[in-house]
């Protein structure tokens, strides 16, 4: 089977998203943003990491197209751009849970 250029581009985009999610702190950020948008300070408190580390994680997620930001006064708020991400992560959670019981 030969993969054309369009399929290769799609696979590259998928890999970029998977790489962005491949860190526990970034997964925690995504989980938190499933409920509502949060500012950097709130995410810093949630992660227990310094602002620069949280900002780097947010940058990775944003560059993968998973987050949008909105500046309000002195604060920048982040939200998920992909609501279907929760379905994917729930599937992964179920798979991991089932593998622990087998």
pLDDT in tens, 56-84: 999 999 999 999 999 999 999 999 998 89
Cβ(61)–Cβ(30) below 8 Å = yes
Token pair for residue 50? 């310094």
Query: What's the pLDDT at 8?
Result: 64
Token pair for residue 86? 């929760």
Report how far residue 80's alpha carbon sits from residue 74's, in angstroms, rounded to the nearest whole number: 20
Q: Which of 23, 36, 48 is nearest to 86 (CA)?
A: 36
Domains of the chain in sequence order: 9-97 (1.10.10.10)
Query: What's the pLDDT at 4?
Result: 73
Tokens 């993968």 sit at which residue? 64
**pLDDT tens column, 2-37:** 667 666 667 888 899 999 999 999 999 999 999 899
């Amino acid at each position: 089977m030969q993969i054309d250029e369009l399929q290769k581009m799609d696979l590259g985009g998928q890999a970029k998203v998977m790489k962005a999610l491949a860190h526990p702190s970034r997964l925690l950020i995504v989980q938190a943003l499933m409920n509502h948008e949060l500012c950097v300070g709130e995410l810093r408190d949630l992660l227990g990491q310094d602002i620069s580390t949280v900002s780097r994680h947010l940058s990775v997620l944003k560059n993968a197209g998973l987050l949008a930001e909105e500046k309000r006064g002195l604060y920048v708020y982040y939200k998920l751009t992909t609501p279907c991400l929760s379905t994917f992560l729930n599937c992964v959670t179920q798979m991991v849970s089932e593998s622990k019981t087998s």
